């Protein structure tokens, strides 16, 4: 349940293992410093707009994560929140950038510093970003030809991270009676009105999907996976950290390191294997035993009060049929995502922390997102089980475009179609 690669998984109906992308940052090889940020060029599988282009249709793609830098398509594209700046080449075609400036002025890719204690600042940022994005969306929907229109608004995610504790009485940092108590609900009502305005630009034959790449829930705290590994003698540093530090800041003594962790929402744990990593210490014949033992021990890490939490530890081959790229050796979901992974070491906090290492954070991503479908031939049937990978096959069937055999999901039309 993480933005990268979840949106690309949705738009391609392929798993992270199929894409070889397991998070924002990924290992490109088995060295210790070979890594990449998962930009658009990391996604080799066709996504919906690619398939629409091949079928002769046209698309409008606005702010869908995994689209920077934009690649050619039949239609227009405005890239996502990973775009470095307005000076970047963030549109296809390139001339669209001038048009955007004429329509909305300074386009906003994402809020700045959304993990902040200045909540008034965050509110202003989110509303301004959202209003400009929908203003641009209405302009593109009205002025560009399209058979497929996709936009992503980052505002709900930023609001959840910034304001969940004010809404949720079960949050350990809940502030009853705060002026921000209804901030999330008020924002969602605002977005609902904006969606209504956007839909005025769609005709009666348009089928509308409202989907999310993940859900949200309160954040109880973080498990400092590398601090735990260090305390158990499984990770050695070249220097003692001076306060809370990153692994990069202190350096790792790879000749004495068995494992290390990366990732935020869930942990990606890598083993240091002889013949695979440059300074591997685990003999290949002991790999399975070491991995199994490490998985059991990680699953037993308690919360800050010493109570067990429902942590799930997966091997990539248990989740993905044929994992591509350099997959983690273990994928760790702490406490049913009420706890997140934190990569720092050192300081006085110990293994558990009540703060995110990147700033104040009220919420974590939840495994279950949402989907709403409305349009001609769609019957109101309440909640139905579906998977994120089912979205793309459903859209293709609605557009009468043949789906690639490699897609993992199934069309939801049998669940949705009016009898």
> pLDDT tens digits for 119-164?
999 999 999 999 999 999 999 999 999 999 999 999 999 999 999 9
Look at residue 122 and give its three-state secondary structure: helix
| 41-62 core/surface letters (b: 16 or more CB in 10 A; e: else) | ebbebbbbbbbbbeeebbbbbb
The answer, yes or no, to whether residue 419 has pLDDT greater than 60, is no
Which band of pLDDT confidence, cut at 50, 70 and 90, is reported for residue 381?
A: confident
Look at residue 167 and give its three-state secondary structure: helix
Which band of pLDDT confidence, cut at 50, 70 and 90, is reported for residue 343?
A: very high
Residue 119: phi and psi, rounded to 5, are -70, -30
The answer, yes or no, to whether residue 418 has pLDDT greater than 70, is no
pTM of the model: 0.96
The answer, yes or no, to whether residue 416 has pLDDT greater than 90, is no
Q: At what angle do helices 155-167 and 183-199 cross, to 10 degrees?
A: 150
pLDDT > 70 fraction of the chain, expressed in percent and rounded = 100
Q: What is the mean pLDDT of residues 276-304?
A: 99
Strand 215-218 and strand 363-366: the pairing is antiparallel
For residues 310 and 338, give the distance between their C-alpha atoms in angstroms, rounded to a whole number.
Answer: 9
Contact 228, 299 (CB under 8 A): no
The answer, yes or no, to whether residue 27 has pLDDT greater than 60, is yes
Which band of pLDDT confidence, cut at 50, 70 and 90, is reported for residue 49?
A: very high
pLDDT > 90 fraction of the chain, expressed in percent and rounded = 91
Q: How far apart are the first and last CA of the chain?
A: 33
The residues pairing with 64 across neighbouring beta strands, listed in sequence order, are: none
- In sequence order, which ranges of 200-286 are alpha helices (DSSP H)? 225-231, 247-250
Continuous segment of H or E residues that includes residue 60: strand 59-62
Q: Compute the mean pLDDT over every residue in the chain, rounded to the nearest whole number.
A: 96
Question: Considering the domain 46-217+367-416 in this protein, what is its CATH number?
Answer: 3.40.720
Higher local confidence (pLDDT), 184 or 360: 184
Taken in order 329, 331, 335, 341, the sign of the CA dihedral is positive
pLDDT of residue 357: 80
What residues does CATH 3.40.720 cover in the chain? 46-217+367-416
Which band of pLDDT confidence, cut at 50, 70 and 90, is reported for residue 263?
A: confident
For residues 179 and 68, give the distance between their C-alpha atoms in angstroms, rounded to a whole number.
Answer: 37
Cis amide linkage into residue 93, ω under 30° from 0: yes
């Amino acid at each position: 349940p993480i933005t990268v690669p979840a949106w690309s998984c949705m738009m391609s109906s392929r798993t992270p293992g199929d894409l070889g992308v397991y998070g924002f940052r990924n290992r490109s090889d088995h060295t210790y410093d070979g890594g990449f940020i998962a930009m658009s060029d990391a996604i080799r599988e066709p996504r919906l707009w690619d398939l629409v282009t091949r079928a002769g249709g046209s698309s409008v793609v606005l702010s869908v994560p995994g689209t920077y830098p934009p690649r050619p398509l039949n239609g227009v594209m405005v890239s996502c929140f990973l775009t470095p700046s307005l000076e970047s080449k963030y549109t296809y075609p390139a001339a669209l950038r001038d048009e955007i400036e004429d329509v909305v002025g300074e386009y906003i890719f994402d809020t700045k510093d959304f993990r902040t204690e200045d909540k008034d600042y965050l509110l202003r940022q989110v509303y301004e970003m959202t209003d400009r994005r929908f203003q641009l969306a209405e302009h593109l929907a009205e002025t560009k030809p399209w058979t497929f229109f996709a936009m992503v608004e980052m505002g709900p995610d930023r609001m959840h991270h910034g304001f969940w504790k004010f809404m949720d009485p079960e949050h350990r940092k809940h502030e009853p009676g705060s002026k921000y108590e209804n901030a999330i609900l008020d924002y969602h009502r605002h977005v609902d009105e904006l969606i209504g305005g956007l839909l005025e630009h769609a005709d009666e034959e348009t089928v509308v999907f409202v989907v999310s790449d993940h859900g949200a829930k309160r954040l109880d705290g973080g498990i400092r996976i590398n601090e735990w590994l260090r305390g158990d003698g499984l990770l050695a540093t070249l220097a003692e950290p001076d306060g809370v530090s990153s692994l990069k800041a202190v350096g790792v003594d790879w000749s004495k390191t068995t494992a290390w962790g990366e990732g935020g929402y869930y942990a990606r744990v890598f083993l240091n294997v002889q013949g695979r990593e440059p300074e591997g210490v685990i003999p290949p014949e002991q790999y399975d035993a070491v991995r199994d033992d490490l998985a059991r021990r990680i699953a037993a890490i308690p919360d800050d009060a010493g109570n067990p939490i429902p942590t799930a530890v997966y091997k990539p081959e248990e989740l993905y049929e044929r994992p591509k790229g350099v997959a983690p050796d273990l994928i760790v979901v702490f406490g049913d995502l009420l706890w997140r992974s934190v990569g720092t070491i050192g300081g006085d906090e110990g293994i558990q922390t009540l703060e995110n290492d990147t700033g104040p954070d009220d919420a974590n991503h939840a495994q279950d997102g949402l989907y709403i479908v409305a349009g001609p031939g769609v019957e109101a049937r309440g909640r139905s089980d579906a998977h994120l990978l089912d979205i793309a096959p459903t859209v293709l069937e609605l557009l009468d475009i043949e789906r690639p055999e490699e897609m993992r999901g199934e069309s939801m039309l049998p669940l949705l179609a009016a009898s």
